[in-house]
Chains A and B, each alone.
Chain A
Amino acid sequence: MTIQAETMNSRTPASAKSQGKWRGQLASYIYVIPLLVIFGFMTIGPIITTVIYSFQKVSLGKPAEWIGLHNYVRMFGNPVFWMAWKNILEFMGLSIIMGFMVPVILSMMINEMRSLGKFFQTMVYLPSLIPIAIALMVWRQIYSPDSGFLNSFLKAIGLHGQLWLQNPLLVKPSLVVVMTWLGAGGSVLIYLSALQEIPTEIYEAAELDGFSPWQRIWFITLPLLSPRMQIMFILQIVNVGQIFTEPYILTSGGPGNHSITPVLGLYNTAFQNSDFGLASAWSVSLLLVLSLFSIVYLILSFRKEAE
Chain B
Amino acid sequence: MTTTRGIMSNIEARSPKGRFILGLFLVILILVSLIVLFPFAYSFTAGLKTSVAITKAGVNLWPDQPLWDNYVQAWNKFKMVTMFGNTFWVAGGGVVFQLLVSTLAAFFLSRLKPAGFKIIMALVFVTMTVPRIAYLVPLYITLADVPLFHFSLINSFWGLWLPYAVNPFMILVLKSAFDNIPQDIYDAAQVDGASKFRLFYQFTIPLSTGIMLVLGLLSFISLWGDFLLPLLVLREPSLQTISVRLYNMTRNYPLNLFMAGSFIAMVPPLLAAVFLQRYMKGGLTF
Q: Beyond the given A131-B242, A141-B43, A213-B12, could you list 16 further A-B residue pairs with CB under 8 A, ordered by the A residue number?
A: A31-B105, A32-B105, A42-B142, A47-B135, A47-B138, A50-B138, A106-B32, A123-B33, A138-B43, A141-B42, A152-B59, A181-B39, A189-B282, A207-B12, A245-B227, A287-B134
6 closest A-B pairs (Cβ-Cβ)?
A193-B282, A131-B225, A294-B129, A25-B114, A49-B138, A147-B55
21 contacts between A and B (CB under 8 A): A34-B101, A35-B104, A38-B162, A50-B134, A112-B13, A120-B29, A120-B33, A126-B36, A134-B262, A141-B42, A141-B255, A142-B42, A193-B282, A204-B9, A216-B7, A244-B133, A249-B247, A290-B134, A291-B130, A294-B131, A298-B128
How many angstroms from the CA of A216 to the CA of B32 in the assembled complex?
25
Collect the chain B residues with CB atoms within 8 Å of residue A124's CB: 32-33, 36
**With A149-B59, A155-B57 as given contacts, are A134 and B7 in contact (CB-CB < 8 Å)?**
no
Interface range for A: 35 or more
Asked if B137 is an interface residue, CB under 8 A from chain A, the answer is yes
Contact between A221 and B7 (Cβ–Cβ < 8 Å)?
yes
Contact between B25 and A112 (Cβ–Cβ < 8 Å)?
yes
Inter-chain CB contacts under 8 Å: number: 291
Contact between A46 and B139 (Cβ–Cβ < 8 Å)?
yes
Contact between B285 and A203 (Cβ–Cβ < 8 Å)?
no
**Chain A interface residues (CB < 8 Å from chain B):** 24-29, 31-32, 34-36, 38-39, 41-47, 49-50, 53, 58, 60-61, 106, 108-114, 116, 120, 122-127, 129-135, 137-139, 141-142, 146-147, 149, 151-153, 155-156, 181, 185-186, 189-190, 192-194, 196, 200, 203-204, 207, 213, 216-217, 220-221, 238, 242, 244-245, 249, 263, 266-267, 270-271, 276, 279-280, 283, 286-287, 290-291, 294-295, 297-298, 301
Contact between A35 and B255 (Cβ–Cβ < 8 Å)?
no
Chain A binding surface SS class: helix
Contact between B104 and A112 (Cβ–Cβ < 8 Å)?
no
